[in-house]
Structure 1
Amino acid sequence: MSLFDVYPLFDITPVEAKDVYVYDENNIEYLDLYGGHAVVAIGHSHPKYVKAISNQVSKLGFYSNSIQNPLQEELSEKLEALSGCKDYQLFLCNSGAEANENALKLASFHNDKKKVLAFKNSFHGRTSAAVAATDNPKIIAPINTQQEVNFSEFGDLYNVESVLKQNETCAVIIETIQGIGGLDESTTEFYQGLEKLCKQYNTLLIADEIQCGFGRTGDFFAYQKHGITPDIISMAKGMGNGFPIGGILIHPNIKASYGLLGTTFGGNHLACSASLAVLDVLEKENLLENAKEISVYFKEKAKEISKIKTVKGRGLMLGLEFDFPIAELRKTLINKHKIFTGNSKNPNLIRILPSLTVQKKHIDVFFEALKQELQ
């Protein structure tokens, strides 16, 4: 049987990884500045993480959500304490797309409306409603078009209001920083205005924090910089450091009822153990502060290279924009310099999404490689 061929692959086979390094079958070392799409939050094979999962699987790896699972309670309490999202409710699932799917469905249940407002250049996942709210026609199948979604320009409050005043929109879904779209972020005035319009027109505001969440931007969630209070917050990638887990934080104004949402694997014992280990390491190793500190250093180093047009993003959700397509440069970085980086919808942008444990010496290696190739 062959694999369904939907991924263009680099000719690299990782077999082991530790902190910010990945090793292939020939024991060649690669510096990982991409973290597997921003997933690896606390470094590959962190000893606390490995111990937590190993201990849990030796006792109980899985049972369904029909029984008591104290690990879910522990995770919700720890998450509230570290995120500052006081009194929110937690629903656990398995992925970012599933988190957004549940967020959108919950919004529709809450206000009995069916349309969604999303933003151009967005990415929210590949399942039914999530993909319909993603601004990429290439990945939206005919069956997904049954979802009714309006798209607005990022930052355009006038157009947002023209849609919301029709009183058909259950939710506005937004990435505070557009990840795959190319690391654009709007102004505090826009986010606060968006929150105000959502309240005015009985529409829920969903903050998609799947890529920026769990400390990547230096704040626990990226929206917190702008002083807003979303109705629902979706999260996934860095939440489990590679173990599949996602979830939504739900404002206390939204009421639960039995059967409203559900999942087989979501919030299982191993997933909770993984996420608890991530939170523990984020706290004890001050990784949010490290993200801020390394971000400042990164931006200073970028000033040394004149061919860098713009540095985008914040924390360790960063992008370098050039005046030329970066596809060949990325290939050179990985094949010659053994450095993993990422791309985006913007063909001129390299994305940098390393573990939050990354150090200045690793940034130095990256910029030295860039200097060699851009002379």
Structure 2
Amino acid sequence: MSLFNVYPLFDITPIFAKDVFVYDKNNTKYLDLYGGHAVISIGHSHPTYISSITNQLQKIGFYSNSVQNPLQEKLAQKLIQLSNCKNYELFLCNSGAEANENALKLASFHTQKKGVLAFKNSFHGRTSAAVAATDNAKIIAPINAQQKVNFIELGDLEAAENILKQGNTCAVIIECIQGVGGLDESTTLFYQGLEILCKKYNSLLIADEVQAGFGRTGDFFSFQKHLITPDIISMAKGMGNGFPIGGILIHPKIKASYGLLGTTFGGNHLACSASLAVLNIIEKEQLMQHVTKISEYFLAEAKKLPKLKNTKGRGLMLGLEFDFPVAELRKKLIYKHHIFTGSAANPNVLRILPPLTITKQHIKQLFEALKKEIHE
């Protein structure tokens, strides 16, 4: 039996990883500046993380959500403590797409509306409503296209109000820094204005923090820079450092009822242990403060780079925008310099999403390789 061929693959087979490095079957060492789509937050194979999951597995790895699981409560308390999102309630699931799916479903239940407002170049997942709210026609099947979604330009408050005032929109879903779209972001004035409009027209504001959350921007969540209070916050990638886990934080004005949401595997014992380890390491190693320092160094080094059009993003959710497509440059970085980076919907943007444990030495290695390739 062969695999369903939906992934274009690089000819690399990783078999071992440690902190910011990945080793392939030939023992070639790669610097990981992509973290598997921003998933690796605390570094590969962190000993505390391994110990936490191993110890939990020796006790109980899984049981359904029909019984008490104190680890879920512990995770909720630690998450509220580090994120400072007080009074929110936690629902756990397995992925970013599932988090956004539940967020949109909950918004529709709460408002009794079915329309969604999303933004051009957005990416929210590949499942039913989440993919319909994603600005990529190639991955939206006819069954998904039944969803009523309006797309507007990021930053256009007038267009947002024109749609919201029609009274059919259950939710506005937004990435405060667009990930797959190419690291675009708008102004604090826009995000605060959007929050006001949502309250005025009885729509819920969903902050998609699937890629930006868990300290990647230097804040715990990227929306916090703008001093807004989303009704629902979705999260996933860096939450488990590779263990499948996602979740939504839900504002207390949204009331729970039995059967409203549900999941088989979400919030299982191993997933909670993984995420608790991530939070404890972020706190103990002061990784959010570290992200800010490394980001400042990165931005300073970027200014010295030839042919660079723009630097985008915040913290360690960064994009280098050139005046040429970066596909060939990415291949040279991988095969010649052994550095993993990412692409974006914008073909000129090189995405940098490393483990939060990255150091100046590693950033320097990237820029030395870039200067050499651009010069040649």
Does residue 168 (structure 1) correspond to residue 168 (structure 2)? The answer is: yes
Q: Match for residue 298 of structure 1?
A: 298
Q: Match for residue 77 of structure 1?
A: 77
Runs of 4+ in 1 over 6 A off after TM superposition: none
- Provide Cα deviations, 1:130-184, integer angstroms capped at 9, x if missing partner: 0000000000000101111111111000000000001000000000000000000
Q: Match for residue 260 of structure 1?
A: 260
Q: How far is the alpha carbon of 1:309 from its aligned partner?
A: 1.0
My pick for the range that moved more, 304-313 or 129-138, is 304-313
Q: Partners in 2 of 1:143 and 1:186 — Cα distance? A: 32
Q: What fraction of aligned residue pairs are identical, expressed as a percent?
A: 75
Q: Match for residue 356 of structure 1?
A: 356
Q: Partners in 2 of 1:193 and 1:236 — Cα distance? A: 26
- Provide Cα deviations, 1:36-95, integer angstroms capped at 9, x if missing partner: 000000000000000000001111000000000000000000000000000000000000
Q: Match for residue 282 of structure 1?
A: 282
Q: Match for residue 193 of structure 1?
A: 193
TM-score (norm 2): 0.99
Does residue 52 (structure 1) correspond to residue 52 (structure 2)? The answer is: yes
Which AA in structure 1 matches 2:239? M
Which AA in structure 1 matches 2:282? L
CA contact (8 A) 2:116 2:150 kept: yes
- Provide Cα deviations, 1:15-53, integer angstroms capped at 9, x if missing partner: 000000000011110000000000000000000000000
- 1:142 is paired with a residue of what secondary structure? coil
Q: Match for residue 249 of structure 1?
A: 249
Q: Partners in 1 of 2:366 and 2:291 — Cα distance? A: 16
Map 1:1-375; keep pairs closer than 5 Å.
1-375=1-375
CA contact (8 A) 2:121 2:181 kept: yes
Q: How far is the alpha carbon of 1:306 from its aligned partner?
A: 2.2
Which AA in structure 2 matches 1:260? L
- 2:312 is paired with a residue of what secondary structure? strand
CA contact (8 A) 2:40 2:241 kept: yes
- 2:249 is paired with a residue of what secondary structure? strand
Q: Which runs of 5+ in 1 are unaligned?
A: none
- 1:118 is paired with a residue of what secondary structure? strand
- 1:294 is paired with a residue of what secondary structure? helix
Q: Partners in 2 of 1:306 and 1:16 — Cα distance? A: 34
Task: Figure out how many residues of one structure are paired with residues of the other and give that number.
Answer: 375
CA contact (8 A) 2:180 2:345 kept: yes
Q: How far is the alpha carbon of 1:305 from its aligned partner?
A: 1.2
- 1:82 is paired with a residue of what secondary structure? helix
Q: Partners in 2 of 1:283 and 1:251 — Cα distance? A: 24
Q: How far is the alpha carbon of 1:13 from its aligned partner?
A: 0.2
